Amino acid sequence: MKKYLLSMALFVCGLTAAFAQQEGPKPGSWKAYDKIKMGDKFMGERNSESFEKAQAAYAEAETILRDEIEKATAEQKVDKLAQLYLQSGQLQDKLFNTILNNAQQGLPFDTVQFCQRIDNIVASYAAAAENNNKPNAKGKVKADAVIQTYCKFRMMGLTTLYYNCGAFMDAMGKKQESVDYFQKFVDFPRKAVVFSPTEIDSIYNAGAKIYSTARFNLALQNYYLKNWDKAIACCDEALKDTVGVHDLYLIKINSYGEKKDSAAWKRTLIEAAQRTGKSSYLQNLMYYYIQNNNIAEADELVTKLVADYPNDKMAWYMKGSIELNVKKDYAAARESFGKALAIDPDFQDALFNMGTCYINDIYDQRVSGKFKYIGTDRRIEGKGEAAYKKEKAIYDQELATVRGYYEKAKPYLEHLRELTPDDAKRWASPLQMVYSSLDMKEQANEMDELLRAANQ
């Protein structure tokens, strides 16, 4: 499984406009306003001493706002609280700008403080918007349109930043904190009180790729944390998208394995095979049945699969695989693989297994003693010419039967070669056997050369 955590620069760049200074409603606290203006003046002087003075002035403003918010909360002054929280959000923006500028320019910055400031900004604007829409002491809602617009504008610019926080925490090895921030990122548009349902849909649609990646990260991080149930739930959510589907199924399958939930484990293997078209999931399931000598359950399962999904190539492929590898019923297996190939003539695994069916079938017939001469050390003998001809005819018929199986295997394996010309390790060995058995020496030698090259 690979991580899908993306580059920080992908989301940090281009955010300056979202944090550009804009005139808003009047301050909730004039005392804090004065300290903030003082800080802005020092910042404008652009030297290290003035920077420290600016930070001190902003810190004083933070303290003033905290005290006034506490007082307004006790007095239930929602109008005042909306203004104070908005002012607090504006101040947090200023404190965050220095960190953001360093991040954009590739300069060192405190990633923990980056995350804390994002939390502070979001909390401030969310509280401003919430109080802006609360009934006042007289039970009336007097929402300030300017506050509402301002909060929406600011929070729109924050939608991507929680992803960065999740990636930062992961880079520091803080898995649980990484999970928390990726979850905040995924939930943010839905939970922010400022967006309409249409706007929420628009945000998710515009960032579909990164939201899919974040959901994948949540599944992966919870798996690393051994939160099996959460990992499974996150996989189910992430599998609604198309990012990392194969790895998501691996996470889900392994999580069920850790939970010792064999029924869900088997069910997920089948679901994964049908969703991805990868036969490796079914091979794991077959190995499970073989290891547990559970042929009856395997047969029952594949019979139900083809009954429920008669047009699903993976259902027929799995039935054929059980018949080939577990039951050794080659005729039934060929019929099942034939139905899979009727649905998808280029189904590579079915092509390989169809060829294998013919090769294994005739091999088993030879070693089981079915033939009088083929597969034995017996020489053709007979007392007299007539008797010899009779025995020779038996040998020729047996040889024709054997070659007939290889002739039937040949087109499936050659088609597989056409589809995967660079994967000689997959088809060169069985094709070499086929060509040798059919006295196609030049083609057999070519397969030998390809195998040697592939194994170097």
Say how many domains are in the chain. 1
Residue 334: pLDDT over 50:
yes
Q: At 182, list the tokens.
A: 């990726």
What's the first-to-final CA gap in the chain, in angstroms? Answer: 27
* Euclidean distance between CA atoms 217 and 172, whole angstroms: 15
Is residue 345 domain-resident?
Answer: no
* Euclidean distance between CA atoms 33 and 5, whole angstroms: 40
Residues near 154 by Cβ (< 8 Å), separated by ≥ 6? Answer: 18, 19, 89, 93, 121, 125
Cα distances from 252 to residues 104, 105, 187, 261, 380, in angstroms, run 37, 39, 22, 11, 60
Lowest mean pLDDT among 5-19, 88-102, 162-176: 5-19
The per-residue pLDDT for 1 is 55
* Nearest of 237, 211, 308 to residue 267 by alpha carbon: 308
Is residue 391 domain-resident?
Answer: no
* Euclidean distance between CA atoms 146 and 79, whole angstroms: 13
- Determine contact, residues 366/374, Cβ cutoff 8 Å: yes
The per-residue pLDDT for 15 is 39
Half-sphere exposure of 114 (CA within 13 A, CB side): 23
* Nearest of 97, 105, 116 to residue 8 by alpha carbon: 105
The per-residue pLDDT for 412 is 98
Express the helix, strand and coil content of the chain in percent, nearest 5 each.
Answer: 75, 0, 25
Residue 3: pLDDT band (50, 70, 90) is very low
Is residue 135 domain-resident?
Answer: yes
Is residue 324 domain-resident?
Answer: no
Query: Could you give the angle at the alpha carbon of 209 between the alpha carbons of 207 and 212, nearest 5°?
Result: 105
Q: Which of 73-77, 133-137, 299-303 has the highest mean pLDDT?
A: 73-77
The per-residue pLDDT for 16 is 37
Residue 17: pLDDT band (50, 70, 90) is very low
Mean pLDDT of 125-149: 88
Is residue 64 domain-resident?
Answer: yes
Is residue 448 domain-resident?
Answer: no
The per-residue pLDDT for 435 is 97
Amino acid at 58: Y
Q: Which of 25-34, 157-166, 329-338 has the highest mean pLDDT?
A: 329-338
Lowest mean pLDDT among 54-58, 142-146, 185-189, 352-356: 142-146
- Residue with token string 């999580």: 255
* Euclidean distance between CA atoms 373 and 48, whole angstroms: 96
- Determine contact, residues 342/366, Cβ cutoff 8 Å: no
The per-residue pLDDT for 25 is 67
Is residue 117 domain-resident?
Answer: yes
The residue that leads in pLDDT, 446 or 160, is 446
The residue that leads in pLDDT, 8 or 148, is 148
The per-residue pLDDT for 138 is 75
Is residue 198 domain-resident?
Answer: no
pLDDT tens by residue, 155-198: 988 888 999 999 999 999 999 999 999 999 999 999 988 999 99
Helix (H) or strand (E) holding 258: helix 245-258
Residue 70: pLDDT over 90:
yes
The per-residue pLDDT for 98 is 83
pLDDT tens by residue, 212-268: 999 999 999 999 999 999 999 999 999 998 888 999 999 999 999 999 999 999 999
CA dihedral 350, 352, 355, 358 (to 10 degrees): -70
* Nearest of 307, 259, 314, 312 to residue 286 by alpha carbon: 314
Q: Which domain holds residue 60?
A: 9-158
Mean pLDDT of 340-365: 96
